[in-house]
């Protein structure tokens, strides 16, 4: 091709190359998300020790080598899954817009959200159980986890400060301790639903039982934080 024609067509060539790069980037992102989704299901079902890369590759419909290309190994993949699940819950919590609500209403909405998120995502609890059995060895290596949690605790602290200033909430409530208590009230019930149900002879996952539990949690937390 004459040089003049190559120069004239150069912008088109650049545009086509950019499109190809963008498509490949989107494909890579989509593939990684598919691997993470498959890995989440496998780790939740079998724990870290029982999960197999071969099974994750089959679930995702990809070659096993591709998993190692993106995530290096099983440990790195499990950490990526944990970080993704935390990122998901933190993103959903931001949509509550606690800063725009009355203090007590904001706290009650956080209780309800935490409960419903755990119900809707049992895999999150299963992953936490696995990581706790490993003494949080993966999360301790994460540079993202604390950055994700800090805005939530800061936001909750601001809600508590607003409530104390208005006289609606009592002073001296620690935001981190309050969040741990909210999470614990939901987590213990759901993680132990089978044993608790057997002990008390109840189906703890019936709608009436779930509604009763949420009302109880909100009442417990409200009675603690109110002035």
Q: 44 is written with which tokens?
A: 């939740």
Mean per-residue pLDDT, 3-7: 55
CATH class entry, domain 74-227: mainly alpha
pLDDT tens track for 188-216: 999 999 999 999 999 999 999 999 999 99
- Residue 1 pLDDT exceeds 90: no
Contact of 126 with 193, CB cutoff 8 Å: no
Contact of 184 with 178, CB cutoff 8 Å: no
- Residue 23 pLDDT exceeds 80: no
Specify the length of the chain in residues: 227
| Total-model pTM | 0.86
Kindly report the number of other CB atoms within 10 A of residue 82's CB atom: 24
CA nearest 107: which of 168, 192, 65?
Answer: 168
Q: Report CA dihedral (221, 199, 119, 222) to the nearest 10 degrees.
A: -10
3-state secondary structure of 198: helix
3-state secondary structure of 26: helix
**What residues pair up with 155 in beta bridges, in sequence order?**
none
Contact of 42 with 67, CB cutoff 8 Å: no
CA gap 39, 35 in Å, rounded: 6
Tell me the DSSP string of 201-227.
T--TTSHHHHHHHHHHHHHHHHHHHB-
pLDDT tens track for 52-101: 999 999 999 999 999 999 999 999 999 999 999 999 999 999 999 999 99
Helix pair 175-191, 103-120: axis angle to 10 deg: 30
CA gap 111, 214 in Å, rounded: 8
Q: 139 is written with which tokens?
A: 């999360």
Kindly report the number of other CB atoms within 10 A of residue 31's CB atom: 17
1-71: which CATH architecture? Orthogonal Bundle (1.10)
**What residues pair up with 169 in beta bridges, in sequence order?**
226
Please tell me the predicted confidence (pLDDT) of residue 146. Answer: 86
Half-sphere exposure of 156 (CA within 13 A, CB side): 21
pLDDT category at 18 given cuts 50, 70, 90 is: very low
The ranges assigned to domains in the chain are: 1-71, 74-227
Helices (H), 167-206: 175-191, 193-200
pLDDT category at 6 given cuts 50, 70, 90 is: low
1-71 and 74-227 share one fold: no
Contact of 214 with 112, CB cutoff 8 Å: yes
């Amino acid at each position: 091709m004459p040089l003049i024609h190559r120069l004239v067509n150069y912008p088109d060539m650049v545009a086509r190359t950019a499109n190809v790069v963008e498509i490949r980037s989107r494909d890579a992102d989509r593939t990684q998300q598919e691997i993470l989704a498959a890995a989440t299901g496998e780790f939740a079902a079998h724990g870290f020790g029982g999960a197999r890369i071969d099974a994750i590759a089959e679930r995702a419909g990809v070659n096993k080598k591709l998993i190692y290309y993106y995530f290096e190994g099983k440990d790195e993949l499990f950490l990526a899954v944990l970080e993704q699940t935390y990122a998901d819950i933190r993103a959903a919590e931001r949509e509550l817009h606690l800063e725009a609500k009355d203090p007590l209403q904001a706290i009650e909405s956080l209780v309800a959200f935490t409960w419903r998120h755990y119900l809707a995502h049992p895999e999150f609890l299963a992953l936490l159980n696995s990581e706790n059995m490993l003494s949080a060895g993966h999360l301790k290596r994460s540079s993202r986890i604390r950055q994700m949690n800090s805005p939530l605790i800061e936001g909750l602290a601001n809600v508590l400060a607003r409530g104390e200033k208005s006289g609606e909430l009592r002073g001296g409530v620690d935001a981190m301790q309050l969040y741990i208590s909210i999470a614990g009230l939901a987590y213990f019930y759901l993680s132990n639903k089978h044993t608790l149900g057997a002990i008390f002879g109840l189906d703890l996952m019936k709608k009436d039982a779930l509604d009763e539990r949420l009302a109880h949690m909100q009442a417990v937390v409200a009675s603690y934080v109110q002035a």
